[in-house]
Chain A
Amino acid sequence: MSELQFLTWVRGPGLDLAIGIFLMGVLWRLFEIYSLGRKKDLAEPRSVAGASGMSTVFRRSIPPAGMLKNSPVTYVAGYVFHVGLAIIVFFFAPHIKFFQSLLGVSWPGFPSQLIDFVAVLTIIAMLVLLFDRITKPVKRYLSTFQDWFTWALTFLPVLTGWMAVQHLLLPYTTMLALHILTVELLLIFLPFTKLFHAFTVFGSRWYSGAVNGHKGVAV
């Protein structure tokens, strides 16, 4: 297979397959989780402003008192790479063109120098978190194969994308094809690994907020 054939495949059948598995996977997993339902809470509720599912969905994005100081690496590197990923994925001009071809809608992007800078920050933050996972006893203790695997799944698209733009190591066409391939792997595995927290995080925060909100506790 030539470089061009490889690129054509990942842009065509490969992409269709990955998006198909991703969409079906997400729908199935959401059904599998949330169809379990929960019992109605019969205790007399106590109503307090700010104690609800929706408020916890937002509030939990902010570290509770004292926690930022306690675990700065997890919080700071965590914020940087999450926000970084969002900026790169949704505001890099070529990505917006891709979404436009897929969804038919478009929006303004950020200058490519800014995206470059964000990509480097994201790569650094992810390396810091990997180092933290290896060296911090609690994280090391909790880590399984999935934790290393999903780290790689998330890291590779960023790295290959940045390298393609910088024309590093491999010809642009090959690197771009590798970039798309790693994104496809990410899409395929996302619904079936801990990466699925990208979806369930909203449900989890909402349940937490609602269950405790019933008691009048703003968590």
Chain B
Amino acid sequence: MSASLEKGVRVLKEVIDAPIASYFNSCVHCGLCAEACLFYTETGDPKYTPIHKLEPMRRLYEQEYTALGRLKKLVGLSKAVTDAELAEWQELVYNSCTLCGRCSVVCPVGNDIVYMIRKFREGMSASGNAPEGIKGAANRTIKIGSPMGVKLPAVRAQMRHVEEDFGLPIPMDAEGAEYLVMLSSMEIMNFPEYLGAIAKIMHQAGKTWTLCSTAFEATNAGMQIGNSDLARVIVSRIVEGAEKLKVKTVISPECGHAYTALRWEGANLMGRPFGFKVRHIIEVLGEFQEQGLLKTEGFETDRLTFHDPCQLARRGGVIKQQRNLMNMVAKNFVEMPDAGFMNWCCGGGGGASAIEEGEELRMEAFKKKKSQFDTVKPDRVVTACANCRIVMEEGLEHYKMNLPVVGLTEMIADHLPNPVVTKPEGN
């Protein structure tokens, strides 16, 4: 057994818990999870059946944690997990799984399959079987500070542009602000409108907020790759920043996995509960709307639909807020089939969009999203995740569909009256 395989097996043995044991023992091979997975429905290849993606981990569980399995191993009746097998499984555990969690909610015996995939990735990563693309993103986040290699000067440059365009100050390292606003590299590089939108919204709501110079990047490739040590380093930057600035709430940007990493995995990675709250920007906007702090003007009149990011809706429980917000600014909002809790993934979540060799398969899987669009024929698609947005833009381009994708936060901000310009004090 190679050293890396040994490490992977050790890590897998550590992450196997009672839920996983219960899940493996409950599977009856009914195959219903396949019907919930866009990588199966769009390719028809049974190897993409979600529970099958866990086969090496299931065998290891049986061999290590059941009396019968140990006996079978002793007398040579069971097949050991090998390097070659794990290498073969890379495609199944990463390229063809976006951690969207649809399989978990259809399984009749209640197996949370995506919970198991997340844990399996810990072993895959430890044994050196994670894809180069996500590994690179994780390493850049650790070394440089962001998966796309964005550094603080780039953020400062964006801040200056936004301050000039909107005439609103963008606070940095403001101690005692109520909200710490996190960004994703995608928003810094590709969708700078987001920062301007935040400035406008906070201004109108009369809330204090800040960016943090030591923690501006919210995405967590460490979690996607399945390396809790890296994930912890990335999360701890944000925790330290939030504690240093004494903020009440940290706002996750329009990025599904950043939200999961901070909101649900963060405290567990740190090993202690947070002294601050974590909210997705859509939850914060929902609160502002309820409190009457968002006073929008006018409506979008073209046909709009909303793509639910999996980590926000099915895996995160935020489903109503985005719909209330849409209805506040859109006259012609139509839902796609399966919208909300059962929505279909864009095909690029969970780090999949960073895997170059997975692109062809991703485009196949995107046919599911395409068919949803074809059903409702929207003029534009609104979403709340920069990664969904870029993945859908790629897919739409591939299928030559002329369908703009926009972020919900910016759309809301567009309907706020322009602020009375107060020149930002020189910085």
Instruction: Please list the residues of chain A having a beta carbon within 8 angstroms of any beta carbon in chain B.
Output: 28-29, 32-39, 41-44, 46, 48, 51, 56-57, 60-61, 63-67, 70-71, 74, 78, 136-144, 147, 192, 194, 196-197, 200-201, 203-209, 211-212, 215-217, 219
- SS of B interface (majority): helix
Nearest residue in A to B41 (C-beta to C-beta)? A70
Binary contact track B43-81/A, C-beta < 8 Å → 1, others 0: 010110101100000000000011110000000000000
Selected contact of B342 from candidates A29, A43, A57, A64, CB within 8 Å: A64
**Bound: A20/B29 CA distance, A:** 28
Contacts of B25 in A (CB 8 A): 29, 33, 194, 196-197, 200, 204
Known: A38-B19, A200-B22. A44 touches B316 (CB 8 A): no
Residue contact A39 to B17, C-beta cutoff 8 Å: yes
Instruction: Output the least CB separation between A24 and chain B (Å).
Output: 12
**Bound: A71/B270 CA distance, A:** 42
Instruction: Please list the residues of chain B having a beta carbon within 8 angstroms of any beta carbon in chain A.
Output: 16-23, 25-32, 34-36, 40, 44, 46-47, 49, 51-52, 65-68, 104-112, 115, 263-268, 270-274, 277-278, 314-317, 338, 342
Residue contact A42 to B67, C-beta cutoff 8 Å: no
Instruction: Output the least CB separation between A188 and chain B (Å).
Output: 13
Known: A215-B264, A216-B317. A205 touches B277 (CB 8 A): no
Contacts of B29 in A (CB 8 A): 139, 142-144, 147, 194
Contacts of A32 in B (CB 8 A): 21, 65-67
Selected contact of B22 from candidates A41, A64, A204, A209, CB within 8 Å: A204
Contacts of A143 in B (CB 8 A): 29
Contacts of B104 in A (CB 8 A): 208, 212, 219
Residue contact B110 to A207, C-beta cutoff 8 Å: yes
Residue contact B51 to A207, C-beta cutoff 8 Å: no
Contacts of A204 in B (CB 8 A): 19, 22-23, 25-26, 109-111
Starting from the known contacts A38-B19, A200-B25, A219-B104, 16 additional A-B residue pairs (CB-CB under 8 Å) come to A29-B66, A33-B25, A66-B338, A70-B35, A138-B46, A139-B30, A139-B31, A142-B31, A142-B46, A204-B109, A207-B22, A208-B19, A212-B104, A215-B264, A215-B317, A216-B317
Residue contact A34 to B112, C-beta cutoff 8 Å: no
**Bound: A61/B107 CA distance, A:** 10
Instruction: Output the least CB separation between A44 and chain B (Å).
Output: 7
Contacts of B16 in A (CB 8 A): 36
